[in-house]
């Protein structure tokens, strides 16, 4: 059995991990993830509206929302009592302002940390701005202008 070469990770680019394995560079990008929802159509519409994205309707089983060129969220009907998930998004200052405005217009509670979701404040972690809020399905969403 051949010994495995060590994997070293390089986190220079948000959303991408460049791994060095046996001397070859590999860029790994998250392509999609499944988001459990009580009603996938409503959840996808909510997310798209708040983030300023388009939602073209269900496609077979999932309700997909394309976040960017590499990531699609696949909202999936789940009638079980699923656990809340945390989704964090690195956004530009202009995107942050637009999304925060839509959060406020929707009358959603938001806060500076996961443990202060109703304080109506922003954080300034990593010399940027950040905010947390929850979806109707209870998922914790985070926006940040400076990644950790």
**What percent of the chain shows pLDDT beyond 70?**
84
Is there a domain that residue 78 lies in?
no
pLDDT (average), residues 50-54: 98
pLDDT tens-digit profile of 85-97?
999 999 999 999 9
Whether residue 60 lies inside any domain: the answer is no
Residue 95 sits in a domain of what CATH number?
3.10.180.10
Asked if the structure places residue 96 within a domain, the reply is yes
Q: Is residue 11 part of a domain?
A: no
| Structural domain contains residue 10 | no
Residue 135 has, within 13 A of its CA and on its CB side, a CA count of 28
Query: Is residue 144 within 8 Å of residue 89, measured between CB atoms?
Result: yes
Residue 58 binned pLDDT confidence (cut-offs 50, 70, 90): confident
Name the DSSP class of 91.
-
Torsion of CA 22, 8, 18, 146, to 10 degrees: -170
pLDDT in tens, 68-122: 999 999 999 998 999 999 999 999 999 999 999 999 999 999 999 999 999 999 9
Give which of 81, 85, 97 is closest to 131, Cα–Cα.
Answer: 97
By the 8 A CB rule, do 65 and 53 touch?
A: yes
């Amino acid at each position: 059995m051949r010994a495995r070469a060590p994997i070293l990770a390089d986190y220079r680019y948000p959303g991408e991990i460049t791994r060095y394995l046996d001397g070859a560079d590999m860029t790994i990008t998250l392509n999609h993830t499944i988001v459990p929802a009580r009603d996938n159509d409503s959840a996808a519409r909510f997310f798209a509206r708040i983030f300023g994205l388009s939602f073209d309707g269900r496609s077979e089983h999932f309700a997909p929302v394309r976040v960017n060129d590499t990531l699609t969220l696949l909202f999936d009907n789940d009638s079980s009592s699923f656990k809340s998930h945390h989704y964090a998004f690195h956004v530009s200052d202009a995107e942050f302002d637009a999304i925060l405005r839509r959060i406020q217009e929707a009358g959603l509670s938001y806060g500076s940390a996961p443990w202060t979701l109703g304080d109506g404040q922003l954080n300034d972690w990593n010399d940027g701005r950040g905010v947390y809020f929850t979806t109707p399905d209870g998922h914790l969403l985070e926006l940040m202008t400076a990644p950790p």
